[in-house]
Amino acid sequence: MPELDFETKDLLHQLQEDGLITRREREVIIKLFTTPSRTEAARRLGIERGSFNHLIYKLVTDHVLIRIRKNELVLNSDPSSIKRNASYALPPPEEIPLVMSDAERKWMIENYDSTKRTQAARALKRSKYDINRMALALKLDRKN
């Protein structure tokens, strides 16, 4: 079983410290270079081969790994050429400020029942989402 050389280990550690790869991606890269096949590497990591290949594909498209030939990959030694986004998830939408009239506030205080939000939405001609936000703002309900 081949061992990683010191330079590769150091580069992997530096990439992880800089936030360019995660701890799990570091483990995947280490198994990729130290096991004879991708199937064996996936088995040792406890994941399916397809998931392992997808992680490798993602690392190649982000230029963490460079493809030399069909089944030959090397670690990119230039961190400035790595194109990683900080997060793959979309940021949550901005919360629109809740505007509530005095009549709506009065109606909510007198008539709100948490089991009948649909009726409250119909009576005030607002969405159920707005009714929930109004109830939270007036402390008539609480967030789970």
pLDDT in tens, 78-135: 888 888 765 556 777 888 899 999 999 999 999 888 888 899 999 999 999 999 999 9
Residue 46: what pLDDT?
Answer: 93
Higher pLDDT, 143 or 139: 139
Residues 36 and 76 in one domain: yes
Residue 144 has pLDDT above 80, yes or no: no
Residues 11 and 74 in one domain: yes
Q: Is 99 left (phi over 0), alpha (psi -120 to 50) or beta?
A: beta
Give me the CATH number covering residue 26.
1.10.10
Range of the domain at 107: 102-137
Residue 88: what pLDDT?
Answer: 58
Residue 103: what pLDDT?
Answer: 93
Q: How many domains does the chain have?
A: 2
Query: Shortest CA distance to 64 belongs to which of 101, 33, 98?
Result: 33
Residue 2 has pLDDT above 80, yes or no: no
CB burial readout 61-97, b (16+ within 10 A) else e: ebebbeeeeeeebebbeeeeebebeeeeeeeeeeeee
**Mean pLDDT value across the chain:** 88
Separation CA 34–CA 4 (nearest Å): 7
Separation CA 89–CA 55 (nearest Å): 16
